[in-house]
C-alpha cells in the first residue's frame, strides 16, 4: 500500500506546481480574447486590481486551509467545523466535473500540435476544419486518450517524482516559449489588399491602451465580472486544488511570499500570452480579428500562422507545444485533487486510486466527445446560452458551483471561524503576513459580495448586468 501522504520537497516545487495548476488554457486562450473584447488596457487594469485583492484573498484562504489541516478539501472543512463538512463535498464535485471534459480540450490541442508537426498546417487554417474535427466520431477520442494517458502517468508517479518534477521542467520552458513567441509577434508587419499596413507594435497598442469608447456603467460592470470570472478560473481556487496542494506544503515555507510568486507567475503568463496573440491577430486581420472570441485559438490563430508563410509552421509547432504543456499542468492538478480525495474516501493507495480515476476520466471524456456527434443535442442554460454536454458540465462546474463555493468559503472563514484562524497559519514559524488587514476586510466584506454578484449574474438571476 502506498497511503503515505506526499509532500513538495521545497517551496520552489510547490510554487511551480501551484503555478502550473493556475497557468492553463485560460491564461493563453481565454485571457487574450476577453482583453480584446473588453477594451484592452481597461480590462487589464481591472484584472490587475482584482489580482492583488480578490485573487490574493481566495488563494490565501485555500492554501492556508490545506496546510493548517493537512487534509484535502473533502475533509478539511469538516475537520474545522463538522457543520460545514458539506462544503468539502461541494468542492469534490468541481474537479470531478471538470475532469470529464478538460482532457477533451487537451485532445483538441494535441490534434493541432500533431497537424503542425506532420503537415504544413494549411489544412488547420481552412474554414470548417475545427468543426469537422470535433464532430468526427473517432479522431477526438484518440487524441483525448493520448493527452489523458500522459496526465495519468504523471499523477501515478506521485507528488515528488511526478507532479513536482514535471512542473520544474515544464514551467520555465513554458515561460520561455511564451516570451519568445510574444517578441516575434511584435516584429510582424503586413499590408492588406486595401493597402493598409499594420505592425505588431500597432497591435500591442490596441492590446494595452484602455478603450473607453462607448463605456457605460452596465458595460463596465460586465467588464468587471469578466475579469473576476477570468481571475477566479485562472487561479484554480474553490475547486479543492489549492487546498490539496496546500496540504503538501511544509511548515518551513513562507506562505505569503509563495502566494505572491504564484500570482505574479500566473498574471505574467496571461499578460504575455495576450502580447503574443493579440498583435499577431491584429496584424493580419485588423480590428475585425479582435472579435473572434472563444474561437481565437482554434480558428483565428491557424489563419495567422498560415499568413506568416514558411515560418508559420514553426511558430504553430511552438505555440501548440506551449499550450499542450499549459493544459497538461492544469489537468494534472485536477486529477491529483480527485486522487487525493478518493484516497481518503476509500482508504486505498495512490496507484489503485489513480487507475480507478483514470477509468472514470476515460469513460466520461468519451461521452463528452460523442456529445458533438452521436449524442449531440442543444440545451438552454440559465445564463441565456445554449450548449452541448461539454458546455453543460462547464456551466455547472464553473458558473454555478465555483462561485457558490467561493461565496460560502468567505462566509465560513470571515464570519464563522474568523480571519484570525487563517492569519495564525500565515505567521507560522515566525513568518510575516504583511497583507493581514487587507485579507481580513476582503474575506469578510468585499469578496462575499463580489462572489454573490458573480453567482447571480452567471446563473441568469441578476439580469441588470446583461449577458456575458
In this prediction, residue 453 carries a pLDDT of: 83
Question: Cα–Cα distance between 64 and 77 in angstroms, integer?
Answer: 12
In this prediction, residue 152 carries a pLDDT of: 92
Position 296 confidence tier, pLDDT thresholds 50, 70, 90? confident
Question: Cα–Cα distance between 256 and 56 in angstroms, integer?
Answer: 9
Can you say how many angstroms the Cα of residue 289 is from the centroid of all Cα atoms in its chain? Answer: 23
As a whole number, mean pLDDT of residues 77-88 equals 95
Position 387 confidence tier, pLDDT thresholds 50, 70, 90? confident
Q: What residue ranges in 184-297 does DSSP mark as E strands?
A: 189-191, 197-199
Continuous segment of H or E residues that includes residue 190: strand 189-191
SS (H, E, C) 322-345: HHHHHHHHHHHHHHHHHHHHHHHH
Cα 236–Cα 241–Cα 245 angle in degrees, nearest 5: 120
The answer to whether the Cα torsion of 391, 397, 401, 407 is positive or negative is negative
Question: Cα–Cα distance between 407 and 455 in angstroms, integer?
Answer: 9
Question: Cα–Cα distance between 197 and 205 in angstroms, integer?
Answer: 15
Position 213 confidence tier, pLDDT thresholds 50, 70, 90? confident
Cα 177–Cα 279–Cα 212 angle in degrees, nearest 5: 130
What CATH number does the domain containing 247 carry?
Answer: 1.10.4160.10
State residue 353 phi and psi, 5-degree precision: -65, -40
> Which is nearest to 55 in space by CA: 406, 460, 394?
406
pLDDT at 425 over 90: yes
Tell me, yes or no, whether 415 lies in a domain. Answer: no
Residue of 237 and 389 predicted with greater confidence: 389
Q: What residue ranges in 291-444 does DSSP mark as E strands?
A: 379-380, 386-387
Can you say how many angstroms the Cα of residue 333 is from the centroid of all Cα atoms in its chain? Answer: 11
In the numeric block, which cell numbers belong to residue 104?
477533451
Kindly report, residue by residue over 404-422, the tens digit of the pLDDT: 999 999 999 999 999 999 9
What Cα–Cα distance (Å) separates residue 358 from each residue in 61, 175, 443?
Answer: 29, 29, 36
Round the average pLDDT of the chain to a whole number and report it.
86
Kindly report, residue by residue over 89-129, the tens digit of the pLDDT: 999 999 999 999 999 999 999 999 999 999 999 999 998 99
Tell me, yes or no, whether 411 lies in a domain. Answer: no
Tell me, yes or no, whether 296 lies in a domain. Answer: yes
Tell me, yes or no, whether 3 lies in a domain. Answer: no
Other C-beta atoms within 10 Å of 7: how many?
A: 16
User: Considering its fold, how many domains does the chain have in total?
Assistant: 1
Find all residues with CB under 8 Å of 221, minimum gap 6, and list them: 465
Tell me, yes or no, whether 274 lies in a domain. Answer: yes
* % of the chain surpassing 90 pLDDT: 44
In this prediction, residue 159 carries a pLDDT of: 54
Position 17 confidence tier, pLDDT thresholds 50, 70, 90? low
Position 47 confidence tier, pLDDT thresholds 50, 70, 90? very high
pLDDT at 467 over 50: no
Kindly report, residue by residue over 249-276, the tens digit of the pLDDT: 888 889 999 899 888 888 888 898 899 8
Helices (H), strands (E): how many in the chain?
A: 22, 4
Kindly report, residue by residue over 136-178, the tens digit of the pLDDT: 999 999 999 999 999 998 888 865 555 556 666 666 777 788 8
In this prediction, residue 146 carries a pLDDT of: 97
Question: Cα–Cα distance between 271 and 181 in angstroms, integer?
Answer: 13
Tell me, yes or no, whether 467 lies in a domain. Answer: no
In this prediction, residue 61 carries a pLDDT of: 97
Residue of 208 and 21 predicted with greater confidence: 208
In this prediction, residue 3 carries a pLDDT of: 45
> Which is nearest to 207 in space by CA: 303, 282, 269?
282
Domain range holding 211?
A: 11-393
Residue of 228 and 409 predicted with greater confidence: 409
Tell me, yes or no, whether 62 lies in a domain. Answer: yes
In this prediction, residue 281 carries a pLDDT of: 86
In this prediction, residue 468 carries a pLDDT of: 39
Tell me, yes or no, whether 286 lies in a domain. Answer: yes
In the numeric block, which cell numbers belong to residue 213?
469608447
Kindly report, residue by residue over 192-208, the tens digit of the pLDDT: 888 999 999 999 998 99
> Which is nearest to 189 in space by CA: 345, 80, 308, 72?
308
Amino acid at each position: 500500500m502506498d497511503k503515505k501522504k506526499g509532500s513538495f520537497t521545497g517551496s520552489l516545487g510547490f510554487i511551480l506546481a501551484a503555478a502550473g495548476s493556475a497557468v492553463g488554457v485560460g491564461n493563453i486562450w481565454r485571457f487574450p480574447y476577453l482583453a480584446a473584447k473588453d477594451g484592452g488596457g481597461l480590462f487589464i487594469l481591472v484584472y490587475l486590481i482584482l489580482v492583488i485583492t480578490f485573487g490574493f484573498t481566495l488563494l490565501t484562504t485555500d492554501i492556508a486551509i490545506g496546510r493548517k489541516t493537512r487534509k484535502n478539501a473533502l475533509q478539511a472543512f469538516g475537520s474545522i467545523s463538522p457543520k460545514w463538512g458539506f462544503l468539502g463535498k461541494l468542492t469534490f464535485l468541481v474537479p470531478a466535473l471538470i475532469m470529464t471534459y478538460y482532457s477533451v480540450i487537451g485532445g483538441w490541442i494535441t490534434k493541432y500540435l500533431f497537424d503542425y508537426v506532420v503537415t504544413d498546417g494549411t489544412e488547420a487554417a481552412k474554414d470548417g476544419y475545427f468543426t469537422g474535427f470535433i464532430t468526427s466520431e473517432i479522431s477526438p477520442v484518440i487524441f483525448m486518450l493520448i493527452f489523458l494517458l500522459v496526465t495519468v502517468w504523471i499523477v501515478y508517479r506521485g507528488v515528488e517524482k511526478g507532479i513536482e518534477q514535471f512542473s520544474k521542467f515544464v514551467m520555465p520552458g513554458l515561460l520561455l516559449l511564451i516570451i519568445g513567441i510574444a517578441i516575434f509577434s511584435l516584429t510582424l508587419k503586413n499590408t492588406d489588399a486595401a493597402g493598409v499596413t499594420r505592425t505588431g507594435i500597432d497591435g500591442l497598442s490596441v492590446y494595452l491602451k484602455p478603450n473607453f469608447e462607448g463605456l457605460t456603467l452596465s458595460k463596465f460592470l460586465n467588464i468587471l465580472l469578466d475579469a473576476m470570472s477570468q481571475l477566479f478560473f485562472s487561479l484554480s481556487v474553490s475547486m479543492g486544488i489549492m487546498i490539496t496542494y496546500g496540504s503538501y506544503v511544509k511548515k518551513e515555507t513562507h506562505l505569503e511570499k509563495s502566494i505572491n510568486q504564484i500570482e505574479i507567475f500566473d498574471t505574467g503568463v496571461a499578460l504575455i500570452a495576450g502580447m503574443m496573440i493579440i498583435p499577431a491577430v491584429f496584424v493580419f486581420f485588423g480590428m475585425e480579428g479582435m472579435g473572434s472570441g472563444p474561437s481565437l485559438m482554434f480558428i483565428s490563430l491557424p489563419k495567422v500562422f498560415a499568413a506568416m508563410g514558411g515560418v508559420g509552421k514553426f511558430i504553430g509547432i511552438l505555440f501548440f507545444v506551449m499550450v499542450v504543456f499549459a493544459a497538461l499542468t492544469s489537468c494534472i492538478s485536477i486529477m491529483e485533487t480527485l486522487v487525493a480525495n478518493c484516497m481518503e474516501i476509500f482508504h486505498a493507495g495512490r496507484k489503485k486510486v489513480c487507475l480507478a480515476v483514470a477509468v472514470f476520466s476515460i469513460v466520461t471524456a468519451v461521452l463528452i466527445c460523442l456529445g458533438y456527434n452521436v449524442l449531440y443535442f442543444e440545451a438552454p442554460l440559465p445564463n441565456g446560452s445554449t450548449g452541448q454536454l461539454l458546455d453543460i458540465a462547464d456551466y455547472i462546474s464553473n458558473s454555478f458551483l465555483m462561485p457558490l463555493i467561493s461565496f460560502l468559503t468567505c462566509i465560513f472563514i470571515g464570519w464563522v471561524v474568523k480571519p484570525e484562524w487563517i492569519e495564525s497559519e500565515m505567521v507560522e514559524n515566525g513568518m510575516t503576513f504583511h497583507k493581514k488587514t487587507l485579507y481580513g476586510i476582503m474575506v469578510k466584506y468585499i469578496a462575499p459580495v463580489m462572489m454573490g454578484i458573480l453567482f447571480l449574474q452567471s446563473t441568469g438571476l441578476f439580469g441588470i448586468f446583461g449577458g456575458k
